[in-house]
């Protein structure tokens, strides 16, 4: 019979005999009512707030959000879930305060909202985080369920093993805090990993920095985050790129400083930081192997540089003087704060050294 075929598909699970959920689409529904209550409470929702919910599923969290918020805008990709939500809330006192948007949250234009609450497919964690941070006008806060490792990278501090480009870029734009750990058995079907709930509060105003310049510096430093900056900036490939940018900017007389106010920051500027962030699959052993290989290359590159003309050596000296000026030559990216990176970037830019 028809039902028998569905039961044979291991990746599909039914909730209460109704809609089948698919793990491949990241569909894991919160089944613990106490956990739902806790998430709503920690969201700090006011009676006047418009709440954006991403991935409402069958509406367990949606129902609690409607009880405390002025209104809820729920974005759901799966048309079956949208139908289920319409059936659940149709004819209830909450129906007039619930707006459903069927579509991909990464592609659709988000409306105004004060608070975001989301239990998302983990594969969209990074692009969604930066899409939210690029949203204008800025919201007050977001409470989001992430895969635990991703969450711990978001909140990692300098010196932590998980501190990476994702940590630095996110914390440049927002204050991030860990709220609670969530075991996999709180979901149906249970995912393969534990989760964590994180609060994200956009900074106001944003630091006056060119995000393209920022990303260029941070990406360069975190490619070898446990090496000293002096070692990184001595590499022939790095010096060659920076010197090319230096000469181009001199020729164009484009040494102006970029000042950005919060309301002038575009989505394109912010989403630069979402590109090419450190891969979560990169393990410590793999990273160590990469660093060992690059250490051998570095020796060769330094030897090549010594024999080059005075102009290149002069530029190398210029870069190293800037590092020494800010006492950065012996420091490592893995232990630098956002303030450290901002100061280093300002010193380099003032010297005419740019990354884009």
Residues contributing to the annotated binding site for S-adenosyl-L-methionine: 28, 30, 55, 76, 104, 119
Nearest to 84 by CA among 183, 157, 18, 174: 18
User: DSSP characters for 78-130?
Assistant: -HHHHHHHHHHHTTSTTGGGEEEEES-TTTSPP---SEEEEE--GGGHHHHHH
Distance CA(293)–CA(152), nearest Å, equals 28
Task: Give the C-alpha separation, 343 to 348, whole Å.
Answer: 9
**Token output for 52:** 């954006």
Both structure tokens of 140? 């007050």
Q: Given its phi and psi angles, is residue 259 left (phi above 0), alpha (psi -120 to 50 degrees) or beta?
A: beta
On the CB side of 149, how many CA atoms lie within 13 Å of its CA?
11
User: Contact at 8 Å (CB) between 239 and 233?
Assistant: yes
Cα gap 69→85, rounded to integer Å:
18
- Rg of the chain on CA atoms, in Å: 24
CB 177 within 8 A of CB 196: no
**Residues forming the annotated binding site?**
28, 30, 55, 76, 104, 119
131 by DSSP, 3-state: which?
A: helix
For residue 80, which of 61, 59, 94, 97 has the smallest C-alpha distance? 59
Closest CA to 126 of 281, 266, 278, 262: 278
Distance of CA 91 to the CA centre of its chain: 39
Under 8 Å CB-to-CB from 288, ≥6 apart: which residues? none
């Amino acid at each position: 019979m028809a039902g028998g075929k569905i039961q044979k598909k291991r990746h599909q699970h039914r909730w209460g005999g109704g809609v089948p959920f698919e793990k491949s689409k990241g569909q894991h529904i919160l089944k613990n009512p106490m956990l739902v209550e806790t998430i709503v409470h920690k969201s700090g929702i006011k009676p006047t707030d418009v709440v954006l919910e991403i991935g409402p599923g069958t509406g367990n969290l949606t129902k609690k959000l409607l009880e405390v918020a002025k209104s809820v805008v729920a974005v759901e990709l799966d048309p079956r879930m949208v139908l289920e939500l319409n059936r659940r809330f149709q004819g209830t006192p909450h129906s007039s305060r619930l707006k459903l948007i069927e579509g991909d949250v990464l592609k659709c234009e988000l409306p105004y909202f004060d608070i975001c609450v989301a239990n998302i497919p983990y594969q969209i964690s990074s692009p969604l985080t930066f899409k939210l941070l690029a949203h204008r006008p800025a919201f007050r806060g977001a409470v989001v369920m992430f895969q635990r490792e991703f969450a711990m990278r978001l909140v990692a501090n300098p010196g932590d093993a998980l501190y990476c480009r994702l940590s630095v870029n996110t914390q440049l734009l927002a204050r991030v805090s860990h709220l609670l750990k969530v075991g996999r058995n709180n979901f149906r079907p249970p995912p393969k990993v534990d989760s964590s709930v994180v609060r994200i509060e956009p900074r106001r105003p944003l630091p006056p920095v060119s995000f393209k310049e920022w990303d260029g510096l941070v990406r360069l430093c975190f490619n070898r985050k446990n090496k000293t900056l002096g070692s990184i900036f001595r590499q022939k490939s790095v010096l060659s790129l920076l010197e090319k940018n230096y000469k181009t900017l001199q020729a164009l007389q484009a040494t102006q400083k970029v000042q950005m106010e919060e309301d002038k920051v575009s989505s394109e500027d912010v989403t630069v930081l979402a590109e090419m962030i450190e891969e979560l699959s990169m393990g410590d052993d793999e990273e160590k192997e990469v660093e060992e290989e690059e250490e051998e290359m570095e020796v060769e590159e330094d030897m090549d540089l010594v024999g080059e003309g005075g102009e290149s050596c002069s530029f190398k000296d210029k870069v190293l003087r800037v590092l020494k000026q800010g006492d950065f030559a012996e420091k490592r990216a893995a232990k630098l704060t956002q303030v450290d990176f901002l100061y280093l970037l300002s010193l380099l830019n003032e010297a005419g050294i740019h990354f884009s």
